[in-house]
Amino acid sequence: MFFDGALVSDPHTGEEVFIRTIDRSLVGEAVEFAHRSDIIFDLFSATDYFAEKESWVTDIRRDYFGIVPTFIDFGRLPEDEKIIKGTLVVCSQEEKAAADRFRRHFDGRLTLSMSKTPAYPDIDYINVLAPGVSKKSALDALVGHLGISLEQVMAIGDGVNDVPVLSSVGLAVAMGN
């Protein structure tokens, strides 16, 4: 289960079991909004991390997370590229205010969730996903694919967005982050 539940792959074959992509017109609108607001916005498919230019964010993703960017003008992304997630990465108060304007502008049309990493406590990673994406929906798709019940599942979570999953499985483990 990846991208807050927007993508589920079969653990044995890698086959996509469940995918919720962001509508391409919304991707374009989000990119334009981020450009106008001068905030960094990255895009992800099932296999690639896309950035428009080198930045402190691409350095962190490469050095800390081990994710190598594919640099591309977002206006030139192939039409058949399935964009699963966008991410606003903000640090300054101005960037955080711009991210809040982004949230308000796309309210009801995109799902946003924030995450942090202990290595960079001042940075907010704001995941931008298709509406209705949730880890619980993804889990339901996975257990259906595997032909098992929720009672047979063990789930581990470290955030508020994990509560629906943790409360529905046979064995739940909540951990600190």
Q: Rounded to 10 degrees, what is the CA torsion of 36, 38, 39, 40?
A: 100
Q: Residue 43: what pLDDT?
A: 98
In the chain, which residues fall in CATH 3.30.1240.10? 21-129
Right CATH number for 21-129 from 2.50.20.10, 3.30.1240.10, 1.10.3720.10, 3.40.50.300?
A: 3.30.1240.10
Residue 161 has pLDDT above 90, yes or no: no
Q: Residue 177: what pLDDT?
A: 64
> How far does CA 66 lie from the centroid of its chain?
16
AA identity, residue 99? A
CA angle 166, 172, 173 (to 5 degrees): 110
Give the pLDDT mean for 148-170.
90
Strand, coil or helix: what is 144? Answer: helix
Model confidence at 175, pLDDT cuts 50, 70, 90, reads confident
Q: Residue 4: what pLDDT?
A: 87
AA identity, residue 152? Q
24 vs 162, higher pLDDT? 24
> pLDDT by residue (tens digit) across 20-68?
999 999 999 999 999 999 999 999 999 999 999 999 999 999 999 899 9
> pLDDT by residue (tens digit) across 70-117?
999 999 999 999 999 999 999 999 999 999 999 999 999 999 988 888
Residue 160 has pLDDT above 80, yes or no: no
Model pTM score: 0.86
